[in-house]
Amino acid sequence: MIGACTGRPVSITGLGCYAPERVLSNDDLARMVDTSDEWIQTRTGIRERRIAAPEQATSDLCLPAAEAALRDAGVQAIDLDLVIVATITPDMLFPSTAALVADRLGARRAAAYDLSAGCTGFVYGLAQGYAAIAAGLAARVLVIGADTLSRIVDWSDRATCVLFGDGAGAVVLEPIERRGFHAFELGADGAGGLELYMPSGGSRRPSSAETVAAGEHFMRMNGREVYKFATRVLLSSARAVLDISGKSVGDIDLYVPHQANLRIIERAAKKLKIEEERVFVNVDRYGNTSSASIPLALEDARAEGRLKDGMLVLMTGMGSGLTWGSSVITWTEGREDER
């Protein structure tokens, strides 16, 4: 799916994030599995990640992020028309985490649903929110990317457990005078679905004592294949979305790719010819937080003064499905008079 946002201008008018307090360092992991800080940093760029407290589920991570985004936008929950939670670790298979979050926020007028597109979920959610507003179905949409991957990671598997962390990021989308979103490009290749998946707990293999004994309730990943896929789609999707939006690589002020692995990011940036100063990286602090990774990066970039009003931002997510998605947006900060 690809398209330029030629209709009613829509933008991000509020941003908020939440990362659990507990920090798990590479040295902590080295005490749990046969790994080292040196291996993890060299292969992934990750130094530490956040882990949810035992009583925290994904909706508990969503709530503070959503409240912060609503405050940032100056929007009341009751005025939301739609709440989308992009996650692969919902509180339960159903009801949707979005419905639970909407209730706790007091978003009583809103439709609410979960969106499953792995680490691409946040960008898919932006496209859905944008489209709902551009088509006139909604005026205010809350898009949350949140995952508690620590609950589906096999903590005895060194090939995966060192990569992931927990977190949540939320944005409010509204129509404003200036153009925010310029274009989207989204895709999926289910033929690669089993390169990154959770074998049981669904209708094909319902959970049983047998599936639990076999560890099928943990995620499984073919790291090398996902690496190849990621480096490929980061380039193809970025090029496609820039092309349809009529922008060039040189126009981009900040490149915010999904924070999975520093090597993947650096390789994509090099091939796209985006120098380091225009690339945002915080995978060192959070690891791969799936659908929370891009909003967490936007939040840190803004806090560091690297994301400002009027800047052109390129975001690309990729992950399970296999899926990918990019968007080009002009960042519109603090212009309430435009709404």
CA gap 263, 160 in Å, rounded: 16
Structure tokens at 107: 């978003």
Question: Between the CA of residue 196 and those of 103, 161, 193, 234, 318, what are the distances in Å?
Answer: 32, 14, 6, 17, 12
Provide the 10 A C-beta neighbour count for residue 156: 11
Q: Which of 90, 165, 319, 325 binds ligand UT7 (CB under 6 A)?
A: 319
Chain positions 223 to 252 lying near ligand UT7, rule: CB under 6 A, are 223-224, 226-227, 230
CA atoms within 13 A on the CB side of 212: 3
Q: How many amino acids of this chain bind ligand UT7 (CB under 6 A)?
A: 18
Binding residue for ligand UT7 (CB under 6 A) from 51, 115, 126, 260? 260
Catalytic one among 119, 161, 182, 282?
119
Q: Among residues 5, 258, 261, 282, which one is catalytic?
A: 258
The window from 14-22, 84-92, 217-225, 268-276 that contacts ligand UT7 (CB under 6 A) reads: 217-225
In degrees and rounded to multiples of 5, residue 125 shows phi and psi of -60, -40
Q: Which is nearer to ligand UT7, 97 or 288 (CB)?
A: 288
By beta-carbon proximity to ligand UT7, the closer residue of 139 and 198 is: 198
The verdict on whether 288 is a catalytic residue reads yes
Least separation in angstroms between CB 284 and ligand UT7: 14
Contacts to ligand UT7 from residues 73-112, by CB under 6 A: none
Q: Can you tell me which residue has the tokens 């798990």?
A: 24
Nearer CB in complex with ligand UT7: 14/169: 169
What secondary structure letter does DSSP report for 288?
Answer: B
* Residue 181 neighbours by CB distance under 10 Å: 25
Find how far residue 203's CA is from the centre of its chain.
26
Token pair, residue 76, equals: 């009341």
Helix 58-73 × helix 97-105 angle, to 10°:
50
Per CB under 6 A, contacts with ligand UT7 among 21-60 are 35, 39, 43-44
Catalytic status, residue 119? yes
Nearer to ligand UT7, 42 or 208 (CB): 42
Nearer to ligand UT7, 43 or 239 (CB): 43
Instruction: State the Cα–Cα distance between residues 237 and 121, nearest whole angstrom.
Output: 15
Residues near ligand UT7 (CB under 6 A): 35, 39, 43-44, 119, 158-159, 162, 221, 223-224, 226-227, 230, 260-261, 288, 319
Q: Which residues are catalytic, by number? A: 119, 258, 288
